[in-house]
Amino acid sequence: MQTRCHLSVLIHEQAKKYGNKRVLIYRDFGDTQWKSVSWKEFSRKVRHVSNALLNIGVKVQENIGVFSQNSLQYLYTDFGAFGIRAVSVPFYATSSEQQIQYMIDDAQVRVLFVGEQEQYDKAFRVFSHCPSLERVIVFDKRVVISPNDKNSIYFDDFLTLGENSPRQSEVEKLYAEANEDDLCNILYTSGTTGDSKGVMLSYGQFHAALKANDEVVPVTDKDRIMNFLPITHIFERGWLFLCLSEGAEIVINTNPKEIQQSMRETHPTCMSSVPRFWEKVYAGVKDKIDRANPVRRKLFMKALAVGRKHNIEYLSRGKRPPLSLKMKYALMNRTLFSIVRNELGLEHPNIFPTAGATVSEEVECFVHSIGIDMIVGYGLTESLATVSCDHKNEPFTVGSVGRPISGLDIKIGENDEILLKGPTITRGYYKRDALNREVFDEDGYFHTGDSGYISKGELFLKDRIKDLFKTSNGKYIAPQMIESKLLVDKFIDQIAVIADQRKFVSALVIPDYALLEEYARDNNIKFGCREDLCADPRINKMMADRIETLQQQFASYEKIKRFTILPKHFTMESGELTNTLKIRRKVLNKNYAGVIDKMYEDADAVQPETPVK
């Protein structure tokens, strides 16, 4: 049962309830051994952080920065800050020096917590350029602090300032004074279209969100949660706090690249993720099917058909499967599907919330077919994550983003824009009064910038209104929809659709280089480097055929007519991706202007039906 209280005392209330029960499973920075922390120990460390923050002079509603990957210390810091009514301002661990300098200055951060060497080095380099910044506290004790740095200390030394809780009476007083109107977090959006904006999130928003999600998200103290997405991300943050309020165990995965191994070692029952994770799983399973002998391939395809019929055609529509189908599915589930789930470390799956981008219907059907409850949802930082989501054991439509949570007023406005009002919606952007007047209308509705519609109680998304492309022929193109359809192909790792003010749709394609090189070797295609590989006509013919197969359901004007395979990934360092791995289209258009223009040479010769290189 959920513990409902102010976030400032949540960990302490749970410690009273659960005592020595394990809550956090983690690995030290750079270590391979899993360790654990009890609720009682979690509460004690949070109390030490609160006391230490008071001892270094942090005031009520002062902004402190956290620039780190997921870690045990990150959670101690966040909840310790909540305990003294300070505001936690999380930065993505992948943020650039320019980004963190902007956020430190904008939020007037005086105390900054950092994770590993990379984060420390960036903080040290910008320190002298940030007038407000006075102190840096380093989580990872392996970090080499510069001999010229007199302003940084290790987290373990910082904790000694709060040992024995020397100022606990003041902390207790602050607990009593904590209220729903206090700011809890300022989360800076990743900024696909300009400077990051600090979204203000209050304790009242968290209280309303935790209550509304508790009504529809079946997480309990029997669940083990894999913490995969950055805690900086509002989806992971809201989900993590919900799971803590339910008494669930949390596995902290510090390195996202190790996620699949971490899952196999710790066997979670739940995990929030973005669609790209499941696209990779789908591509991996599909690749194994393609490589299997004909008998095995036929068996697995038959199993998937049974899973789809049972879980999508019947259960998702609220219908009871016939006994014969039920028995067939039970057999497939015990044998083939259990093998797939076990390879993922998901022996006892409960729910897997998925949001943050468009979910391909093909991937959604696959995940449900193998017996994993993908809970598709929709939300924004400004709505404290969940606006809507699928409900376990209730009918849902593949392609929707579920049913709205309680307490939220959703209206479809001009251009089918989704408008929101309710207790989970932000009061606005930090120190951005002019922008706040733009995004909130006179009736108090927040304008999301997303277009969609509601059908039979479920919300369906169309695309970001600002992302909609209009071709020179007047046709509107939804690039994210097209991209999500093509990303299910095992050979496509990244893709960016180009169409705005152009005669037709084209694309920049980043292949899975390892698979492409394997394909080239298997087909006697010689290459000396990635550039050779990407330019080879036989490689491009293979990719064109695969793209055409995937876009058969598109209208002619939506189909990719030309594409270029690129020899390097889109990256955050180049400014082409945000910290949440969303494409910055303006930057791509600038960085690849020559490549894009070349695709539109002799445009009149392009036939509308077939993609060509």
Residue entry with tokens 């460390």: 45
Residue entry with tokens 């066997």: 267
Residues 235, 271: Cα–Cα separation, whole Å: 11
**Backbone φ, ψ for residue 436 (5° rounding):** -60, -35
Domain-embedded: residue 516: yes
In the predicted structure, residue 192 carries a pLDDT above the cut 50: no
Query: Assign residue 338 a region: left if phi > 0, alpha if psi is -120 to 50, beta otherwise?
Result: alpha
Mean pLDDT of 511-533: 94
122 versus 552: the higher-pLDDT residue is 122
Helix, strand, coil fractions of the chain, as percent rounded to 5:
40, 20, 40
Domain-embedded: residue 95: yes
In the predicted structure, residue 480 carries a pLDDT above the cut 90: no
Domain-embedded: residue 257: no
Domain-embedded: residue 82: yes
What's the pLDDT score for residue 601? Answer: 86
Q: Do 79 and 15 contact (CB within 8 A), yes or no?
A: no
pTM for this predicted structure: 0.87
Residue ranges of the alpha helices (H) in 355-469?
Answer: 361-369, 433-439
Final residue before a domain boundary, out of 157, 178, 199: 178
**Backbone φ, ψ for residue 430 (5° rounding):** -65, 120
- Write the pLDDT tens digit of every residue in 88-111: 999 999 888 989 999 999 999 999
Residue 521 makes CB contacts below 8 A (sequence gap 6+) with none
In the predicted structure, residue 194 carries a pLDDT above the cut 60: no
Mean pLDDT of 485-509: 91
- Write the pLDDT tens digit of every residue in 557-567: 889 999 999 99
Distances (CA, A) of 598 to 231, 590, 592, 595, 603: 41, 14, 10, 5, 10
- Write the pLDDT tens digit of every residue in 10-21: 999 999 999 999
Helix axes 234-245, 203-214, angle to 10 degrees: 70
Mean pLDDT of 283-299: 90
Final residue before a domain boundary, out of 178, 203, 221: 178
Query: CA angle 371-361-307, nearest 5°?
Result: 30
Strand partners, 463: 451
Q: Which has the minimum average pLDDT: 115-119, 336-340, 422-426, 604-608?
A: 604-608
In the predicted structure, residue 71 carries a pLDDT above the cut 50: yes
In the predicted structure, residue 330 carries a pLDDT above the cut 90: yes
- Write the pLDDT tens digit of every residue in 135-166: 999 999 999 999 999 999 999 999 999 998 89
What's the pLDDT score for residue 106? Answer: 96
Residue ranges of the alpha helices (H) in 389-494?
Answer: 433-439, 479-486
Mean pLDDT of 314-329: 95
Query: CA angle 450-102-179, nearest 5°?
Result: 70
Residues 143, 166: Cα–Cα separation, whole Å: 28
% of the chain surpassing 70 pLDDT:
97
What's the pLDDT score for residue 603? Answer: 60
Residue 150 makes CB contacts below 8 A (sequence gap 6+) with none
What's the pLDDT score for residue 212? Answer: 97
Domain-embedded: residue 314: no
> Dihedral of the CA atoms 272, 424, 243, 275 (nearest 10)?
0
- Write the pLDDT tens digit of every residue in 339-365: 999 999 999 999 999 998 888 899 999
606 confidence band (pLDDT: 50, 70, 90): low
In the predicted structure, residue 222 carries a pLDDT above the cut 70: yes
What average pLDDT is seen over the chain? 93
The CATH number that applies at residue 171 is 3.40.50.980
What's the pLDDT score for residue 544? Answer: 95
What's the pLDDT score for residue 608? Answer: 44
Residue 32 makes CB contacts below 8 A (sequence gap 6+) with none
604 confidence band (pLDDT: 50, 70, 90): low
The CATH number that applies at residue 596 is 3.30.300.30
Residue entry with tokens 């005086």: 110
Final residue before a domain boundary, out of 152, 178, 204: 178
> Dihedral of the CA atoms 433, 438, 442, 448 (nearest 10)?
-120
Could you list the residue range(s) of the whole structural domain that residue 528 is in? Answer: 469-605
Distances (CA, A) of 358 to 204, 436, 460, 589, 598: 29, 27, 11, 22, 29
Mean pLDDT of 422-427: 97
Q: Which has the minimum average pLDDT: 65-74, 93-102, 115-124?
A: 93-102
What's the pLDDT score for residue 24? Answer: 98
Q: Do 584 and 190 contact (CB within 8 A), yes or no?
A: no
Number of domains in the chain: 2
Domain-embedded: residue 44: yes
Domain-embedded: residue 538: yes
Q: Which has the minimum average pLDDT: 35-44, 356-365, 418-427, 428-437?
A: 356-365
Q: Which has the minimum average pLDDT: 159-163, 258-262, 421-425, 499-503?
A: 499-503
Edge-first strand listing for the sheet containing 417-421: 409-412, 417-421, 446-455, 458-464
Q: What letter represents residue 570's amino acid?
A: F
Distances (CA, A) of 589 to 567, 577, 585, 596, 599: 17, 12, 6, 8, 13
592 versus 579: the higher-pLDDT residue is 592
3-state secondary structure of 316: helix
Domain-embedded: residue 383: no
